[in-house]
Amino acid sequence: DAGVIQSPRHEVTEMGQEVTLRCKPISGHNSLFWYRQTMMRGLELLIYFNNNVPIDDSGMPEDRFSAKMPNASFSTLKIQPSEPRDSAVYFCASSQLAVTPQFFGPGTRLTVL
Partner 1 sequence: QKEVEQNSGPLSVPEGAIASLNCTYSDRGSQSFFWYRQYSGKSPELIMFIYSNGDKEDGRFTAQLNKASQYVSLLIRDSQPSDSATYLCAVKRDSNYQLIWGAGTKLIIKP
91 Cβ contact list (under 8 Å, min separation 6): 6, 34, 35, 36, 37, 43, 104, 105, 107, 108
Q: Which residues bind partner 1 (CB under 8 A)?
A: 31, 42-43, 45, 48, 50, 55-56, 91, 98-99, 101-107
Residues constituting the chain:
113
How far apart, in whole angstroms, are the C-alpha atoms of residue 3 and residue 15?
A: 32
Residue with Cβ nearer partner 1 (31 or 82): 31
CB of 48 to partner 1, least distance (A): 6
CB of 73 to partner 1, least distance (A): 19
Residue with Cβ nearer partner 1 (98 or 113): 98
Residue with Cβ nearer partner 1 (5 or 13): 5
Q: Are 61 and 83 in contact (CB under 8 A)?
A: no
CB of 81 to partner 1, least distance (A): 27
